[in-house]
Structure 1
């Protein structure tokens, strides 16, 4: 016989059943929106610190931009917005980012850094600041012309309109890109002239691009660069002249091989052609040459053809039809290298600025800065003129500073591969 349960008991059983069903399905929990929302700017700065700080006025552009993760934060990405030059940088150690070059002067920047806090929550930190506008600026010029072609000895030559005392900072702002691998170095000639020269002569037919990231570099206390500088030029074929003042001949190497051997007459005993490895500076046809004292036997005023200059003081390779009888046997010139007219014309037509010319066996030594005399110095001497004392490895992807001790051995030989150290001493 089936008995009916009282209504109250039935209701209680239904409630128990419902409770049992509910306990097997988790109830939804309303999350706190602030636990996943980005941190406030102040909170984000606790984990991602940007220097210069937000609102900074007159920031030093030489210091660049630094972003660092701290307090357990992780750095992800850094972007910089500015109307000035683009800003690049790199991460080191995974938690430190620094701009590659100095910043522009008198410019506004907004830096945005993203990452995570110590709990892995996303954070974004920003800083908007301006760099100082200097009261004193230095300007830089480069000798090489855009798209021009030069000889294998040609140095990159920079001039500054203010003395530079922070020379290492200037060197570090310079980049050389070459179509063929090159080892070289920077050399300061005083405080306003800076040269880059390869360890050995440039490889023929190399394209060279120079970039000076000079805007924002503090070249001396309170003196800043205010512009960048770029130039691209080419190296032509290898044309190298070597003249012996005692053998009375000059050899002309083209592409590394002797192509011509010409008789010459160099400076007489009282006016010897000075020793040294020079570079061709300019050429003209004709050139008016004036020397001596007017009214005396040594005075001359002549138009000279096929003249290629290699010293500022007035030494040339040039045509000298008047001394053909002495060429190959006797030195009778006023310091120039006299050539037969047809040979002088051949050399003139080949010569471009930067072609090496070496004078040997002279009783007179060459003078530094009497022409482009960077090849007077051997490689180790040239390195000593760098403020960083570092060599430069350049190639298609740019250049970097390296320790000289890390370089491969130099296998180039004089006169076609490089110059001889101490070549400017009297023979």
Structure 2
């Protein structure tokens, strides 16, 4: 079928508009077949799925073919599922066949719209709807922390109920986990901490007073053999002020900053030799007005054993590092490091700190003789990786690092 006559008709109309101005109505809506309402093309196309039949196997590709009646051919196909996701497909050069190029989603309804044209160029259309069978096995994603207000350093966590090891599958999963930031987007990335855990953080900290929304687009999507994505609960984080705390273990003072401005400096004591406080940036994990701290819970006994009632305790590691009231060491605060790893201060200062800090705020220790805070096995040490290192944990940006071992999250004991 030649399209030359129709192309010339359109061009001729355009020239007539240019030359006659107001007389352009000579090419009015009813003079050209492309301007007509689509006719019912039910007798011109065929599907390999049947409307009204029982649900179909999502692993079976969708195929649409032109019957050739009246010289018809397919010009476009759109297949959209219950969640508004468009099914990718490929149309042949002749317009006689369209087929899906990715697996269908499970447990959804598809609405398929096929556009055609006959040998005279008149447009036709046919619509079909069908359901797919539910998934046999589901990959569930649970986001954390709980929705609420957090500091600018709070990472987002995605926990999977099944391990994902294959790189291509990880890429599919990672691409479907969507993080939106308002009022403006920021650069950020997921990091595969282990086969079933991902963390997301921006290149820099979250913008103060922004809103972070996290969702999964995996529902119904084929992830592996007999494995499809499950529906997931959306997460919303409201980000507060930019609070940064810097503890200098050499000077024995803490600087508390809010939105770039120094609010106060406080005398403190940190870990003594053999129990030195970890260097690096930690994210506040939680707050407890009262904690009972005992040395034997972290392997400390003998002359170093302690059994203390501790108040105004702000936790920064799972292994028990806190910022807390230490009235027994007030004489050393601002002068010497005498603790077993925590940052101690007077009761009044600890109460003030407790009231002005929140989960997700940043606490950084510098100039300690201790080891560095690890990224993932002792709380949120995510910010101790620079951006290039962080990118290495993404299958979308650089690929998963070779030889990385999953970490143990079981250490929950306090230390003073």
Which TM-score band (shorter chain)? 0.7 to 0.9
Whether 2:273 is the aligned partner of 1:272: answer no
Aligned twin of 1:305: 311
User: Which residue matches 2:374?
Assistant: 367
1:252-267 pair list within 5 angstroms: 252-267=256-271
Matches of 2:74 and 2:127, distance apart in 1: 15
**TM-score, normalised to structure 1's length?**
0.71
Tell me which residue corresponds to 1:59. 58
Q: What residue number does 2:329 align with?
A: 323
Matched, 1:150 2:160: no
Equivalent in 279, 290, 294 of residue 290 of structure 1: 294
C-alpha distance 189-298 of structure 1, shift in aligned 2 (>3 A): same
Structure 1 match to 2:83: 86
Correspondences of 1:168-207 after superposition (within 5 Å): 168-179=171-182, 180-207=184-211
Structure 2: stretches of 5+ with no match in the other structure: 1-37, 400-416
Note closer, same or farther for the CA distance 1:183–1:250 as it changes in structure 2 (3 Å cut): same
The alignment partner of 1:169 has SS state of: helix
Query: What per-residue deviation string (whole Å, max 9, x for no partner) do you get for residues 266-315 of structure 1?
Result: 01101111112110000010111111479732221211111100000000
Give unpaired runs (5+ residues) of structure 1: 1-35, 392-427
Cα contact 1:89–1:98 (8 A) shared by 2: no
* CA–CA distance in structure 2, aligned partners of residues 52 and 327 of structure 1: 76
**Cα distance between partner residues in 2 of 1:115 and 1:309:** 65
Superposition deviation, residue 60 in structure 1: 3.4
Instruction: Identify the residue that residue 163 of structure 2 maps to in structure 1.
Output: 163
Q: Report the RMSD for the aligned CA atoms in angstroms.
A: 3.4
Larger radius of gyration: 1
Distance 1:302 1:173 in 2: 48
1:105 positional shift: 2.3
Distance 1:370 1:125, change over 3 A: same
* Residues 51 and 386 of structure 1, relative CA distance in 2, 3 Å threshold: farther
Distance in 1 (alpha carbons) for counterparts of 2:203 and 2:320? 28
Go from structure 1 to structure 2 and tell me whether the alpha carbon gap of 1:234 and 1:52 turns closer, same or farther (over 3 Å shift): farther
TM-superposed CA distance for 1:79, in Å, is 6.6
Structure 2: how far apart are the matches of 1:102 and 1:228? Answer: 20
Contact 2:79 2:86 in 1 (8 A): no
